[in-house]
Amino acid sequence: GEAEDDGVEVVVQVRKQGSLGLKMWWQNPPVVRAVRSKGLLQGQVVPGDRLMLVNQADVTQMSEVQVMVLLQQRPLELKLFRRRRAEADIALSRRFGPALPTLLDQEVHGHRKHDGLRSGRSTPSTGRAMLSHQGSSTRSACSSRSGRARREDG
């Protein structure tokens, strides 16, 4: 549907020899499952990106073997599709640490299931932590503010 198409195209170029560091889900189109920290694509490709073109060849309907052969080429140009929600999730993960991969794993694997999994498994702990932080900071801010206001009135 329309929501599926809401995203950005990402073009990545690789000239160096070496491992790209990609772990994929081999579906159509192939989806990035993980990027190894020492791989050439670390920081450029993120879990959930869909691989669309490799050196201008449409890989969305190719087999694992066909795509793997293409990925050996250098120089290499990859065109990926990244949903806007993934962009937002990346920003969150930078702020709150490694809760992200589990969310994306669930999302890519079972499109329908992920809402239940997300609310059940990973939100309570992060949600609670965030609430308690906010609570303490707003409390201290309020008390100092009200103290100042009183002084000015007096």
Q: Measure the CA–CA gap between 154 and 149, rounded to whole angstroms.
A: 9
pLDDT at 120: 47
The per-residue pLDDT for 93 is: 66
Distance between CA 144 and CA 2 in Å, rounded? 49
Q: What is the value of pTM for the model shown?
A: 0.56
Share of the chain above pLDDT 70, in %: 53
Q: Is the N-terminal amide bond of 101 cis, ω within 30° of 0?
A: no
Q: Does the pLDDT at position 62 exceed 90?
A: yes
Helix ranges, the chain (H): 64-71, 84-96, 100-109, 114-117, 123-153
> Which tens digit of pLDDT belongs to each residue from 88-123?
666 666 666 554 454 455 444 444 444 444 444 444
pLDDT digits (tens, 9 = 90+) for 38-61: 999 999 999 999 999 999 999 999
| 85: confidence class by pLDDT, cuts 50, 70, 90 | confident
